[in-house]
Chain A
Amino acid sequence: MKRSRTFIRWFFLLIPCLALSGCWDRRELDEIAIVMGSGVDLTDDGQIELSLQIALPMGIQGNMQMAGKKKPVMLVSSKGTVSQDQIGQIQQQLSRRIFFGHRAVFIIGENFARHGVDQTLDTMLRFPDSRYNCFILTSKGATAKEVLNSPYPLEVIPSIGMKNMQVGKYTFAERIDKFLDSFAAKGFMPATGAIRLIKNGQESSFVIDGEAVYRENKLVGYLSGTHSKAFKLMRDQGSGMKIPVPIEPAGKLSTGMITADLLTTRREVRTFVSQGSPKIEVEFRAKGRIIANDTTLDLSKPANLSRAEQMLSNELQKMISGLIEQTQKEFQSDVLGFGDILHIQHPYAWKKLQTEWLDTYPEVPVKVLASIILERIGRTQKPGHLPK
């Protein structure tokens, strides 16, 4: 009796093993083609081109006999009309099974992005082994294939370079799951980091600066310069950002600029709805420290410090309102997610507003308040280069 019960226990333990998993699902590490990054482009003749950057383990340093003789990555691509089918086509070129489990970046080609992206994205992301925390980027001035094909001297595998750039806080980073969320949301437009190619003397490389702004499923433009900075501030990725600002006219010895390093930032959005029309107020507060002082002023004096704070606040205010104006007038796209906040704060009004939010947003009055508190001035005395 007891024996048969034990047997039944083991039996039921092992049966689900066979049903749920099994040797037929096995794939060795040398039987898979590890995709490090992928990209999708629209060719001039209207076809979709899919490119995969595949790691070649033999070419990676550390495997000492092989290092240096082979390339660390290979790029495969295929053209067609449906992207799902192209993965099958690429698979035909490869002796190993395509494996998306380690994909670090997904790049949308500029041309493709301008024609709308959602359909392809779904087919690309529907793979069970594809990661949702992979970063999404939009290429600028180049195709995704060119970007993926570009070498990157600092990392063995260029895609890992892109990923590490995104992990560090100096570029705007968007992961695929958030990106898809913003596709589904009505009050929140998608945005991604923008990647472009640069030439560094002989060597070509890539850089991620600025952001690509989408309106619904189409790319409408790129943010750059101070607007790009302001965008990161508004998306809570602004800590560690350096803000230079002139606080006195340039003199013989100095440029009159100070630079603040933001330690913490806080963004508060208040929305008001009066007679069916929305109004938005953005309050931005930051704490920072001075990391460069190229002026004749001694910031340890409270008067000078509050002057610096004042100037910095003004600068932040200018940056943010400039950004909002650009998104309203030029892009007509609510990438900052004011609609979502409106939804939370005024759920009943939003019910009426959401249908035409795309058209309403450019007209919504936005008031921006910004303030900064300088917690440290970086040194205890006045600037060292000035005559005593």
Chain B
Amino acid sequence: MRRKTGTSRFADKPFEDLGHISEPDVSDKLEDNERQIRTVFDKCADLVVRRLDLPGSVPCLAVYLNMLIDDTLWDEGVLKPLLNLDAEPQNADRFLEDMVIRLGSSMKPQIADNMPDIVRNIVQGSVVLFIEGQKRALRFFANTKLHRQLDEPVTEAIIRGPRIGFIENIDVNMSLLRQYIRSPLLKIERMSAGSVSQTEVTIAYLETYAPQSVIDEIYKRLERLNLESIISSGYVEELISDHPNSPFPTIQATERPDTVAASLIEGKAALLVSGTPMVLVMPITFWFGFQSVEDYFMSFIFATMLRWLRFTFAFMAMALPALFVAITTFHQEMIPTSLALSLAAAREVVPFPAMIETLIMETTFEALREAGVRLPRPVGQTISIVGALVIGQAAVQAGIISAPIIIVVSMTGIASFLLPHYGMSQAISLLRFGMVFLGGMFGLYGVVAGMIALLIHLSNLQSFGVPYLWPIAPFNRLGLMDVFIRVPWQYMKKRKWHKEQQLELDKS
């Protein structure tokens, strides 16, 4: 994959699966061209090859894939003007250039001169027009505008803020971004990836805001992609991520254009992948998992409070069951006496050790959560609520699980939903199990050892050159303004601290 900034949307690729093209040049005989197109698109039922005469009885051949073409656009926008061209072309050599000038711009008429380009254009939804006696062809865009309506993002609902989310169509997504940032500084570079799927991938960033080293790094990694197809941004995310083996996300996936626009202004880069509403934002730090775009829309006091709530509950989501297990099985003297007695009373009839109990309930909870996502929407909610109630209540009454465990697990469940980013909440849910093991085997000592191990791991992480724990480690005073507190906008010096970050990155 190569970077291109010119008019051509797609780069040449050394390896591309375009079928069997025997002759790369366009022939000046329509029969030869037709034969070649028909062999390439053999058994493609939607291929349309249509002969027509242009004014002045110039025979020509229109080729397109029926399913990709908007019929009215083709009829009204291309065919009609073509057939109505009044004057005969004077110059046979400049015939095509003439046509390009005279045809309307809505179809984006362009000249294609080799077969692979033409084939590529056809699969991308163009109409290609071969003309008798010309060694080049004309192509028009007449893509169907097939996409769903702009909708509120489902996974990242907020109370205050725009009710619009990205969709599967990359053009729409880019126009959404352009509407937030109306500046020529917003650079959008396109390329295609996936040797078969030829998926469109776009990098968006603000020039002079985004550190050049980060942009270069993204390109370098994208070039290394060696995939046949890219169906979703998840493919790309995993392949270009710094640490695909870490549970913590080093790339943010979001379907909110406002989040992406704000990130771009913070000097980050966004990667849009055709066919998916999830846009990738990079680089990110650990703290992004506790920041919601809504923090910046509401009063800074509440935003700060919410952040602390998220920090507290993230800690709970990760450590609460582990602490519970560790304390009740190793350090009973730490529990207040009356609580110890009621916990002991609840445990009297339970057959399993506290660790097993916790693991059973945590697994059940995760299963219920996953089932709630998969089940068809009308049944989904009912099943998950009833499931939780029935399993919780019945398990306690049957004496299989003790009631405090249910409380701990449901607290943990609520806590894990408090995080605004799914990736981070998944990471924490996963680590919770490890923590419960450590707590159950080694007590508080194990939990603390686990925490230290996590801290070591986190401080080792990087996202496109940015240390994951920045601005805490390495320390940066200006960066702190948006981590534990959200300072009022008039004191926020984001621009300045991103400059600092940039300097730091360019140094290394």
Chain A positions near chain B (C-beta within 8 angstroms): 6, 9-10, 13-14, 16-18, 20-23, 25-30, 32, 34, 36, 55, 57-58, 60, 62-63, 66, 99, 101-102, 104, 129, 131, 157, 160
Contacts and interface: CB of A to CB of B under 8 A. Distances in A.
A129 B442 CA distance: 18
A34 B441 CA distance: 22
Nearest to B353: A28
A356 B489 CA distance: 75
Contact of B341 (A6, A20, A34, A129): A34
Nearest to A36: B337
Nearest to A96: B344
Given A28-B328, A29-B344, A63-B346, 8 more contacts: A16-B449, A27-B329, A29-B347, A34-B332, A34-B344, A62-B342, A63-B348, A102-B332
Interface string B342-378: 1111111010011000000000000000000000000
A20 to B, nearest CB: 6
Contact of B340 (A9, A16, A102): A102
Contacts, number: 96
Interface centre among B330, B333, B343 (most CB of A within 10 A): B333
A245 to B, nearest CB: 40
A157 to B, nearest CB: 8
B45 interface: no
30 contacts: A16-B449, A17-B441, A18-B442, A20-B442, A21-B330, A21-B446, A22-B441, A23-B440, A23-B441, A28-B329, A28-B347, A28-B354, A29-B332, A29-B340, A29-B347, A30-B344, A30-B348, A32-B332, A55-B341, A55-B344, A57-B344, A58-B345, A60-B342, A63-B345, A63-B348, A66-B345, A101-B333, A129-B333, A131-B333, A160-B337
Given A26-B330, A34-B340, A101-B333, A21 B445 contact: yes
The list of the 9 closest CB pairs from A to B, nearest first, reads A101-B333, A57-B345, A57-B344, A63-B345, A29-B344, A30-B347, A17-B442, A21-B442, A21-B445
A36 B340 CA distance: 12
Contacts of A25: 330, 443
B452 interface: yes
Contacts of B503: none
Contacts of A13: 449, 452-453
Q: For the complex, would chain B's binding face be called helix, strand, loop or mixed by DSSP majority?
A: helix
A321 to B, nearest CB: 41
Nearest to A59: B345
B456 interface: yes
Given A28-B347, A131-B333, A17 B341 contact: no
A14 B332 CA distance: 23
Contacts of B350: 30
Interface centre among B329, B344, B346, B348 (most CB of A within 10 A): B344
A220 to B, nearest CB: 33
Contacts of A102: 332-333, 337, 340
A20 B445 contact: yes
Given A101-B332, A102-B332, A102-B340, A22 B442 contact: yes
Given A21-B445, A25-B443, A102-B340, A9 B333 contact: no
A228 B328 CA distance: 42
Nearest to A26: B329
A14 B442 CA distance: 10
Contacts of B344: 29-30, 32, 34, 55, 57
Contacts of A131: 333
B329 to A, nearest CB: 5
A137 B193 CA distance: 81
Nearest to B340: A102
Given A101-B332, A102-B333, A26 B446 contact: no
Interface centre among B442, B452, B456 (most CB of A within 10 A): B442
Contacts of A6: 460
A21 B330 CA distance: 9
Contacts of A58: 345, 348
A26 B446 CA distance: 13
Contacts of B348: 30, 57-58, 63
A29 B337 contact: no
Nearest to A16: B449
A144 B453 CA distance: 50
A60 B441 contact: no
A104 B337 contact: yes
A58 B346 CA distance: 8
Nearest to A18: B442
A99 B341 CA distance: 13
Contacts of A104: 337
A10 B453 contact: yes
A20 B445 CA distance: 8
B456 A9 contact: yes
A87 B258 CA distance: 69
A113 to B, nearest CB: 26
Nearest to B327: A29
A26 B353 contact: yes
Nearest to A67: B345
Given A22-B441, A25-B330, A60 B337 contact: no
A160 B337 CA distance: 9
B342 A21 contact: no
Contacts of B346: 63
A102 to B, nearest CB: 5
Contact of A29 (B338, B343, B446): B343
A131 to B, nearest CB: 7
Nearest to B350: A30
A104 B337 CA distance: 9
B345 A60 contact: yes
A47 to B, nearest CB: 31
A25 B443 CA distance: 9
A292 B453 CA distance: 65
Contacts of A10: 453
A129 B456 CA distance: 33
A141 B6 CA distance: 103
A57 B342 contact: yes
A221 to B, nearest CB: 33
Contacts of A27: 329-330, 332
A87 B416 CA distance: 46
A63 B329 CA distance: 20
A214 to B, nearest CB: 28
A131 B328 CA distance: 17
A21 B337 contact: no
Contacts of B343: 29
Interface string B480-506: 000000000000000000000000000
A21 B443 contact: yes
Contacts of A9: 453, 456
A62 B345 CA distance: 9
Contacts of B332: 27, 29, 32, 34, 99, 101-102
A55 B440 CA distance: 25
Nearest to A14: B449
Nearest to A25: B330
Interface centre among B341, B342, B443 (most CB of A within 10 A): B341
